[in-house]
Structures are given as structure tokens and as C-alpha cells.
Amino acid sequence: MGSRNPRGPLQAGEDIILIDPKGEEHLLTLTPGKPIGTHRGNILHDDIIGKPDGSRVWTARGAEYRVFRPTFNQYIMNLKRHAQIIYPKDIGPILLWADVFPGATVVEAGIGWGALTIKLLEAVGPTGRVVSYEIRDDFAESGKKTVTRFLGECANLEIKVRDIHLGIDEKEVDRIVLDLPEPWRTVGHAAESLAPGGILLSYLPSTVQVKQMVDRVNEEGSFGEPEVFEVIHRPWHVKGLSVRPVQWMFSHSAFIITCRKVS
């Protein structure tokens, strides 16, 4: 499994976040000899390479920019993407409610843009394993590129381009995480593949889908009572004497459903 290097000077080929004077973020890959064009003047990549994380750099016109290694949130939210992602505000609760632990074997479907896959790999660690089922070739390819760009090559990630509704090859797995429009079609296969006490988690945007999933889980009879919840992220503005919620709030993205296999 690859790993990020959070210390040491910034290096050529490394991704950075460039923050402009207005606080807007730009995800870039450091390339020797290449300029960064801004309406406040140019910055040379060579002026950033070799500097420590968190440095300040200036354009020829004297505008100050800040340079950081991207956090996971910055990396995911600033990527150009064609697939829907699981947002960082939901990934934390998914890892906690699925109780993903070092050394675990986790099956996920589908990989999409790879955001959740990154955190699953970090959570299971080098002794664990993540198997991603993805029905679309383009999503499988883009998801793997996203993971590799952030973590490096991960020997414990296996991507299978196939329909998980047709069955799950892996047995005695610890966790199954589904980001699918019809996850109820996989409940029977999940019951066969999960080890006793294993957790099934599903990520769904609509109440209609939630109802179908919960009904199917209850019909299966191999799981305890499902828990259903959503996560709301409410940022606040704090500046001087002004302390208030920001005008824009990203509330509902999806529901999280968890249940545990019983013997």
C-alpha cells in the first residue's frame, strides 16, 4: 500500500493546494519549468519545489499565495470528476458506523470516483484488504487513478469490473459497503459472504430507496434491525464580533443504513 508523506520539502510530481488571496483553492501537480498563471501574475513551480509544507509564495506583482499538501477533503473536493462522490462529511460516519478496523477485509460496490476507497484502504491498513466491485469500466479506471494519485500503488486493493448483484466471490468478509441505486438486490449475497457479526452498510439518497432496502434486510432474516440516519454539516462564520451560521449549508446528501449479521 502506498502512503502520503506529510513531512519534508515539497517535491516535483507531488500534488499541492495553492490558496489565492481570496481563499480559493487550486489543486496542482508540481512540474519543473512550468508557470502557474494568475491574474495577479505568474508563480513558477520551481519557486515552490523544495519549500516546506505551508509556505508562502509571491507572484511577480507581489500577491501572496499559500501552498500546502492537500488534505483528503481538499484533494477530493478540488478534483475534476465525472462521477458522483461520497462526500467527506459522510465518509467519517461511514467508517465509524461500519467499524472498519486495521486488518479487515472490506468489499465495496461501486468504486465511483474512489473517494471512499481511499479512506477504506487507510482504515484497513497494509494488513487489510479492500475489494471493489464496479460495473462500469470507466468508473473502475478513474477510481483507481484517484486512489493511486493520493496513496500510491496499493497492493491490497483489488478492483473487479463486474455486477455485484450476480454474487460476491469473497467469503467470511468483515464489512460490505454499498453505494448502489438498488442495494437490496445484493442483500442475499451479502448475508452469504459476511462473517458472523459482520456489518452491511448502504449509502442511499432517497427515502424510497431507504424503505426498499430496510424492507429487504428485514425479509432476509440474517441481520439485526437496521439503523438509518443522515449527516448534516453546518459551517459557521466567525469574524470579529460576527458569529453566525454561513448562508449556504450542505445538508442532505444521502442516508446511511447499517445492519449486522446475526448467527
CATH number of 23's domain: 3.10.330.20
The pTM assigned to this predicted structure is 0.87
Q: Is residue 3 part of a domain?
A: no
Question: Percentage of the chain surpassing pLDDT 90?
Answer: 80
Same domain, 156 and 196: yes
The CATH number of whichever domain residue 138 belongs to comes to 3.40.50.150
Range of the domain at 107: 78-260
Give 182-188 contacts, CB < 8 A, sequence gap 24+.
182/209, 182/212, 183/209, 183/213, 184/212, 184/213, 184/215, 184/216, 184/217, 186/109, 187/213, 187/216, 187/217, 187/220, 187/223, 188/220
Q: What is the pLDDT of residues 96-124, one digit of tens each?
A: 999 999 999 999 998 988 999 999 999 99
19 and 82 together in one domain: no
pLDDT higher at 15 or 61? 15
Looking at the structure, do residues 89 and 160 belong to the same domain, yes or no? yes
pLDDT recorded at residue 83:
65
50 shares its domain with 110: no
Total domains in the chain come to 2
Same domain, 37 and 135: no
The residue from 27, 53, 70 where one domain ends is 70
Q: In this structure, are 56 and 131 located in the same domain?
A: no
